[in-house]
Amino acid sequence: MTKPVWPLQSQCKAFYGDPTSVIRGAPAPNAEWERMHLVKVFIPWSAHASWDKDLRIRTLRVHSKCAASLERVLNAIWEAVGRDQNEIDRIGMSSVGGGHNWRLMRGGNALSTHSYGCAVDFDPERNGLGDNSPAMDKRVIKAFTDEGWVWGGQWKRPDGMHFQAARVD
Ligand SMILES: [Zn+2]
């Protein structure tokens, strides 16, 4: 199968649509866009919210254009660890930081790729923003990059928890 080619970050609006509506002069989430484009991808292992260990997370909400790809990524990770929940826990993949989330980028007015539903975060506890030695497992990184997703762990300001179906400009 050929690797999907994702849009550049600057082309996200053209590719994924506009997740923003302007309400009384201020940017806000676009509920109509969310209804039209966001779908849930099943997580094959047992997972919880990174901010609340008692909150079970069964799905990630992402854009329909990258949902099938994310499903392949998660299944590939599950196979790569031999469908072993203990191994998933050990490498931090049972801790889910989130998928779609409408928000501006830190320190700027551009939208985060999470706003387009084309980004997911895992194991933020050990892969914090700015952490120069993120703990993300190589098999996880490979499963994502095999599908053309970009890992944030190698950026100038590393974001090791972050994977996105958008290329960096
Ligand atoms: Zn992220």
pLDDT tens track for 124-169: 999 999 999 999 999 999 999 999 999 999 999 999 999 999 999 8
Q: Could you tell me the distance, in angstroms and rounded to a whole number, from the CA of residue 86 to the centre of ligand 1?
A: 24
Q: Could you tell me the distance, in angstroms and rounded to a whole number, from the CA of residue 9 to the centre of ligand 1?
A: 13
pLDDT over 70, % of the chain: 96
Burial class (CB in 10 A: 0-12, 13-18, 19+), 166: buried
pLDDT over 90, % of the chain: 87
| pLDDT of amino acid 164 | 98
Q: Could you tell me the distance, in angstroms and rounded to a whole number, from the CA of residue 49 to the centre of ligand 1?
A: 14
CATH number of 9-164: 3.30.1380
Q: Mean pLDDT in the chain?
A: 94
| pLDDT of amino acid 121 | 98
**pTM of the predicted model as reported, rounded to 2 decimal places:** 0.94
Q: Could you tell me the distance, in angstroms and rounded to a whole number, from the CA of residue 47 to the centre of ligand 1?
A: 17
Q: Which residues of 47-56 are buried (b: 16+ CB within 10 A; e: fewer)?
A: beebeeeeee
- In angstroms, the CA 145 to CA 152 distance is 11
Q: Could you tell me the distance, in angstroms and rounded to a whole number, from the CA of residue 67 to the centre of ligand 1?
A: 16
* Per-residue pLDDT at 25 exceeds 90: no
- In angstroms, the CA 146 to CA 103 distance is 27
Q: Could you tell me the distance, in angstroms and rounded to a whole number, from the CA of residue 2 to the centre of ligand 1?
A: 25
Q: Could you tell me the distance, in angstroms and rounded to a whole number, from the CA of residue 54 to the centre of ligand 1?
A: 22
* Per-residue pLDDT at 109 exceeds 80: no
Q: Could you tell me the distance, in angstroms and rounded to a whole number, from the CA of residue 126 to the centre of ligand 1?
A: 13
- Ranges of each domain in the chain: 9-164
**Biggest alpha carbon–alpha carbon distance for the chain:** 52
Q: Could you tell me the distance, in angstroms and rounded to a whole number, from the CA of residue 38 to the centre of ligand 1?
A: 17
* Per-residue pLDDT at 107 exceeds 70: no
Q: Could you tell me the distance, in angstroms and rounded to a whole number, from the CA of residue 114 to the centre of ligand 1?
A: 6
